[in-house]
């Protein structure tokens, strides 16, 4: 089964992201607005069991923390993706590094991990530049408490749902 690890921002951030995702993100129907902590990968029962134990340890080591999205950015030209970017990504990066260690070790990626909430993907370059040009002038200040992480699995219909949630307890 395909598993991934994510965090979901609070409703205000989700609503703001979803207002753009509805039209500009083909994954809108498959998963709510989120921040990926670990890319999806096929896991067998043994890897799943070890990863759940690992995530319990990680969650007990981290205190809840607040994040602030302060701008729209893009991964262009590498990928035609628009996203809400963090004012200070350091705590999410620390959480990502902890999650992606031990049994949940992630294969080397060709991308540098950049915590974000996607608001548009797979757009034509012209559409991406037009939208980015408008949105980068916007005054964005969205905050969210991060107090849990979610182990997700992909359903047969292609959607993602929570397998288990881990409360940050630090």
What is d(CA 113, CA 94) in angstroms, rounded to the nearest whole number?
Answer: 11
Domain ranges, ordered by start, for the chain? 2-167
- 73-83 confidence digits (pLDDT tens): 999 999 999 99
| 116-121 and 2-7 strand pairing | unpaired
What integer is the mean pLDDT of 78-100?
Answer: 97
∠59-62-64 over CA atoms, to 5°? Answer: 100
Q: What is the set of active-site residues?
A: 34, 116
Q: Report pLDDT for 10.
A: 97
What is d(CA 95, CA 112) in angstroms, rounded to the nearest whole number?
Answer: 15
Confidence of residue 108 (pLDDT cuts 50, 70, 90): low
Report the top-level CATH class of 2-167: alpha beta
**Cβ neighbour number for residue 6 with a 10 Å cutoff:** 20
- 21-44 confidence digits (pLDDT tens): 999 999 999 999 999 999 999 999
Asked if pLDDT for residue 88 goes beyond 80, the answer is yes
- Average pLDDT for the chain: 95
Helix axes 45-61, 90-99, angle to 10 degrees: 140
- 111-153 confidence digits (pLDDT tens): 889 999 999 999 999 999 999 999 988 899 999 999 999 999 9
């Amino acid at each position: 089964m395909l598993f991934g690890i994510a965090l979901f921002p609070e409703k205000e951030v989700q609503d703001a992201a979803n207002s753009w995702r509805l039209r500009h993100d083909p994954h809108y129907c498959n998963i709510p607005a989120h921040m990926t902590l670990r890319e999806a990968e096929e896991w067998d029962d043994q890897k799943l069991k070890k990863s759940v134990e690992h995530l319990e340890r990680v969650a007990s080591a981290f205190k809840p923390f607040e994040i602030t999205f302060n701008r729209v950015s893009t991964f262009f030209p590498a990928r035609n993706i628009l996203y809400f970017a963090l004012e200070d990504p350091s705590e999410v990066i620390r959480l990502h590094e902890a999650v992606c260690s031990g049994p949940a070790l992630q294969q080397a990626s060709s991308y540098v991990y950049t915590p974000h909430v996607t608001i548009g993907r797979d757009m034509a370059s012209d559409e991406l530049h037009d939208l980015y040009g408008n949105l980068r002038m916007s005054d964005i200040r969205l905050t969210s408490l991060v107090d849990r992480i979610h182990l997700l699995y992909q359903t047969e219909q292609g959607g993602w749902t929570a397998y288990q949630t881990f409360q940050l307890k630090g």
